[in-house]
A and B are shown apart, each in its own frame.
Chain A
Amino acid sequence: MTVTALPTLKPADFASDQEIRWCPGCGDYAILAQAKKVLSTLPFPKEKMVFISGIGCSSRFPYYLNTYGFHTIHGRAPTFATGLKLAQPDLMVWVVTGDGDGLSIGGNHLIHALRRNIDIKILLFNNEIYGLTKGQYSPTSRLGTKTKTSPGGSIEAPIRSLSLALAAEATFVARTMDLDPGHTASTLQRVAAHKGSAFVEIYQNCKIFNDGVFNYVTDKALRSDNALYLVHGKPMIFGKENNKGIRLNGLDPEVVTIGKDCALDDILVHDETAANPMMAYLLSRFSYPDFPEVFGVLRYVSEPTYDELMAKQMAESLAKRGKGDLQKLFRNDDLWTVE
């Protein structure tokens, strides 16, 4: 067997020839830049990477990458990705979706793609707004969000996409943000390496219709007090002085000050591989301003993937029955012969 070395690629090799049409200042640019960087470092052939998206500003993403790309219909990207994976299991298939695309019209497909543990990587760009249709509230918009369709403020409780992904049994669940490029890159690196259904929520600023909704974590002056970066095996510590932490009081998490309320040893230690998803679920519910919002990998477990189970059944059928024979298939019922 000859092993052909993969060509060394640069981020620029992943730029397509299409003119980018996002608004100046849109958070999507930053995510695209990190994606190109990370893709160029992966030990995986470029022609086997496919980006599939739904509809929305975020879903224009595949046009700007020089990989195979499929801009599909609103909310349904996971279904195309699933079909593609069935046809060609060794492709690396990414889905790019928005908060409206993935959680409103496409909520059902998201749930089912995740529970199947099919090997696709879903990136949900959450700007808490419908960007492409010019600024309506979305399923992640906070209570009270004023938009053209909610002039009196939204009266709908928002979805926590990470909680949903955990409930749907996703085997990889993470969150990052557009304005922390290093963290975006490291998160994309991790998701690229995962086998199974992966879900990443990316906070993304919509400059035009929802500017600054994530200021409390994207503004560097505020970030350390409001963002908790999860690191596997490390205590959950945050804050400007690095002295705040998360402690469990019965079933309720609480924010404590180390040295004042308790010792470092009392602080929860993050275990992304925990078989029991309860702690990940509690973390997924942390919301500003009562709790720091979490970034990093909440859950990372290994379960048989849909692709593997399908391959196994295909192989078993072949072993048991031999390669399909049409002559035999046609004759699998009572036969009679007319002379």
Chain B
Amino acid sequence: MVVNTPTSPRKFEEVDSITIRFAGDSGDGMQVVGTQLTNVSAIMGNDIATFPDFPAEIRAPAGTLAGVSGFQVHFASTDIHTPGDSLNCLVVMNPAALKTNLKDLQPGGILIVNSDSFGITDLAKAKYATNPLEDGSLKGYRIVKVAIDKLNREAVKDSNLALRDGDRCKNFFALGLVFWMFERSQETTIKWLHSKFGKKPDILQANIKALKAGYNYGETVELMPIQYRVAKAKIAPGTYRKITGNEALAMGLVAACELANKNMVCASYPITPATDVLHQLADMKNFGVKTIQAEDEIAAVGMAIGASYGGAIGVTGTSGPGVCLKSEGINLAVMTELPLVIIDVQRGGPSTGLPTKTEQSDLLQAFFGRNGESPVAIIAPKTPVDCFNIAFEAIRIATEFMVPVFILSDGYIANGAEPWLIPDVNKLPKIKINHPTGPNSEASDGVHENGAGEPGKFLPYKRNDNLVRPWAIPGTVGLEHRIGGIEKQDVTGNINYEPANHELMVRTRAKKVANIAKTIPDLTIEGDQEGELLVIGWGGTYGTIATGVQKARLNGWKIGQVHFQYLNPFPKNTADVFKKFKYFLVPELNSGQLLLLLRGMFLIDAKGLNKIQGKPFLVSEIVDGIQLFFK
């Protein structure tokens, strides 16, 4: 194919940021090209944030609304925290993708359409009565109709591929168009294609041809009168990679185990959107990580606790429905005071709910979803990258305090990606773990039944200054002891049903968890350090809330923001921070769970900003919520 180089000089418009979404059938490869655009933009020096959106069904019938899969990329010359509220550009491969995604495209936004897939049956599958490309309903957008099927076929026709296989390259044709329009380099993607299809030269060549053809087509026909340019962002120097929340969790856990000099046992039962963590860890045996796919979530938590009892780091990962099943097991770890890490990648509930959609609705479940008084530590990552630090902290807290630790991630940060400044391994904190090797009984332990207080005895429930009991592991000579879920006598750990002892133990377990606050960072206020309104968030909503608060502050309003990564216990200075503000707004992707806790525990008259649609907040929704306080 001969390509005519255009004679007219190119016109570029400089913009701060661009948000693009690829949308098509779940078999169209939208996730792949979205990821490519992300990688290329990152390598070109932009800040990036992404958000994939998959259907719940693996392969819903082709062309239907239920089968639409999307991938959103936000790249910018500024520091960004979200995948973007609305789209500058939407690429749709079929009518169903158009129908489900159009509402997110900005007025006047660029709409790239595969016009070859708007036949009568395609339209019917997407439940269009008339062809939107012809009925004038897309008037408010800049439509770019491209016969992607036909042009792609033409491009790959010499590739020795069956027609169907050739057609599968059309996502790269679309990517080529986008690369041209937003001045992205093709080099990185071609390199990636080589690494992916190096052993399948026909497929490799066809995809490269499709990519280049898309790019050249944009240039040749001057698809748009203008191209866009996004300058490099000012980013801290160093080596970066892109990382999703689930990847960061897995790496954080492995890193913490390495630095604690401990082996990990991760037992899980597959469940969206948490399974990826198990996938990742299953392939890390050379780090001493053992994984097991348990028969159910009850077994998974049991195995993790059994491993902790044996001196390994027991980890179990799941989502809300799995947490329901694990609750009895978690309580056993509370009672036997063993370390345990529970990852809950939250999704829309109750019941099966919205498996592939995000929500923050398991906070109260983590706090209170077990019988009896059952305090556990609860921490929540605020961004995909923060999952690394939180995983690290989970293992630190679980082992330092002999307690189960909940990590409350969510579907949004689990699958969302952002650039990660790769840490220097030598600068990661070490985690110190001690196992007793001999008896710990002293005369000062007082006289208990069964000879506690006599030297030479091992007292499994004798506590340190933080009220933490020793972690004696089977195999240690002379420390043979029994533990279990029945109430324990303080110090000896013997079965004990006495009323006063039970109250002492309930209070002691609570105090021990409260003591964790001594070891966690204070809450920091971003924005105004005191003033009118404090916006309070937790978990995966950080990026959107921060962006919203920054925007609202441009109005001159006095707004501070705090974001809880540590939820149980809360940081020590929480009450003091609250004293510095008059009003409180708590945005959450639930109907007000943190709100209930804060109102109950700190007696503040906070108001909720709540969204329960299986979707993350938009920045504009945060700004709108804030505005109400200043009118």
Name A's B-contacting residues (CB within 8 A): 16-18, 45-48, 50, 52, 55, 62-63, 66-73, 76, 78-88, 90-91, 108-109, 111-112, 310, 313-314, 316-318, 320-324, 326-327, 329-331, 333-339
Q: How far is the CB of A328 from chain B (nearest CB, A)?
A: 10
Query: In the assembled complex, which residues on chain B have CB atoms less than 8 Å from the CB atom of A78?
Result: 299, 302
B6-45 residues with Cβ-Cβ distance < 8 A to A are 39, 42-43, 45
Query: In the assembled complex, which residues on chain B have CB atoms less than 8 Å from the CB atom of A55?
Result: 485
Q: How far is the CB of A336 from chain B (nearest CB, A)?
A: 4
List the B residue with the shortest CB-CB distance to A332. B241
B296-341 residues with Cβ-Cβ distance < 8 A to A are 296, 298-312, 314, 328-329, 332, 336
Instruction: Kindly state whether residue B600 has any CB partner on chain A within 8 Å.
Output: no
List the B residue with the shortest CB-CB distance to A318. B286
Bound CA–CA A163/B116 (angstroms)? 62
B469-526 residues with Cβ-Cβ distance < 8 A to A are 473-486, 494-495
CB <8 Å contact, A62 and B254: no
Instruction: Encode B237-274 as 1/0 by CB contact (under 8 A) with A.
Output: 11111110000000100110010000101010000000
Instruction: Out of B236, B286, B298, name the residue touching A322 (CB < 8 Å).
Output: B286
Query: In the assembled complex, which residues on chain A have CB atoms less than 8 Å from the CB atom of B284?
Result: 324, 329
Bound CA–CA A24/B332 (angstroms)? 30
CB <8 Å contact, B285 and A50: no
Instruction: Kindly state whether residue B425 has any CB partner on chain A within 8 Å.
Output: yes
Instruction: Kindly state whether residue B188 has any CB partner on chain A within 8 Å.
Output: yes
25 A-B pairs in the complex with CB atoms less than 8 angstroms apart:
A17-B451, A46-B480, A47-B475, A47-B476, A70-B309, A73-B329, A79-B302, A81-B306, A83-B306, A83-B314, A84-B310, A86-B290, A86-B303, A87-B307, A88-B310, A88-B475, A108-B296, A318-B286, A326-B255, A329-B284, A334-B43, A335-B422, A336-B43, A337-B240, A339-B237
List the A residue with the shortest CB-CB distance to B485. A73
CB <8 Å contact, B295 and A73: no
Query: In the assembled complex, which residues on chain A have CB atoms less than 8 Å from the CB atom of B39?
Result: 334
Q: A81-B306, A329-B284 are in contact. List 15 more A-B contacts (CB 8 A).
A: A18-B494, A45-B477, A47-B474, A47-B476, A62-B482, A69-B480, A79-B301, A82-B306, A83-B267, A86-B312, A324-B254, A333-B242, A336-B45, A337-B239, A339-B237
List the A residue with the shortest CB-CB distance to B492. A17
Given contacts A323-B286, A326-B255, A330-B423, contact A79 B484 (CB under 8 A): no
Q: Looking at chain B's contact residues, is the secondary structure mostly helix, strand, loop, or mixed?
A: mixed
Instruction: Out of B295, B304, B328, name the residue touching A109 (CB < 8 Å).
Output: B295
Bound CA–CA A62/B483 (angstroms)? 9
Given contacts A47-B475, A63-B495, A324-B288, contact A87 B241 (CB under 8 A): no
Given contacts A80-B303, A337-B238, A338-B240, contact A87 B329 (CB under 8 A): no
Instruction: Kindly state whether residue B287 has any CB partner on chain A within 8 Å.
Output: yes
Given contacts A73-B328, A84-B307, A329-B254, contact A47 B288 (CB under 8 A): no
CB <8 Å contact, B287 and A324: yes
Name B's A-contacting residues (CB within 8 A): 39, 42-43, 45, 188, 192, 235-243, 251, 254-255, 258, 263, 265, 267, 284-288, 290, 292, 294-296, 298-312, 314, 328-329, 332, 336, 422-423, 425, 450-451, 473-486, 494-495
CB <8 Å contact, B485 and A18: no
Q: How far is the CB of B201 from chain A (nearest CB, A)?
A: 22
List the B residue with the shortest CB-CB distance to A105. B298
Q: How far is the CB of B342 from chain A (nearest CB, A)?
A: 14
Bound CA–CA A79/B483 (angstroms)? 16
CB <8 Å contact, B422 and A330: yes
Query: In the assembled complex, which residues on chain B have CB atoms less than 8 Å from the CB atom of A323?
Result: 286
6 A-B pairs with least C-beta separation: A83-B306, A79-B302, A71-B484, A87-B310, A324-B287, A83-B303
Bound CA–CA A81/B303 (angstroms)? 7
Query: In the assembled complex, which residues on chain B have CB atoms less than 8 Å from the CB atom of A111?
Result: 295
Bound CA–CA A338/B310 (angstroms)? 44
CB <8 Å contact, A310 and B290: yes
Given contacts A81-B306, A334-B188, contact A50 B474 (CB under 8 A): yes
Query: In the assembled complex, which residues on chain A have CB atoms less than 8 Å from the CB atom of B305?
Result: 72, 80, 83
CB <8 Å contact, B286 and A80: no
Bound CA–CA A337/B286 (angstroms)? 28
Query: In the assembled complex, which residues on chain A have CB atoms less than 8 Å from the CB atom of B42?
Result: 334, 336
CB <8 Å contact, B192 and A334: yes
Given contacts A71-B485, A318-B286, contact A334 B480 (CB under 8 A): no
Query: In the assembled complex, which residues on chain B have CB atoms less than 8 Å from the CB atom of A82?
Result: 292, 299, 302-303, 306
List the A residue with the shortest CB-CB distance to B292. A86
CB <8 Å contact, A338 and B45: yes
CB <8 Å contact, A16 and B482: yes
Query: In the assembled complex, which residues on chain A have CB atoms less than 8 Å from the CB atom of B303?
Result: 79-80, 82-83, 86
List the A residue with the shortest CB-CB distance to B481. A68
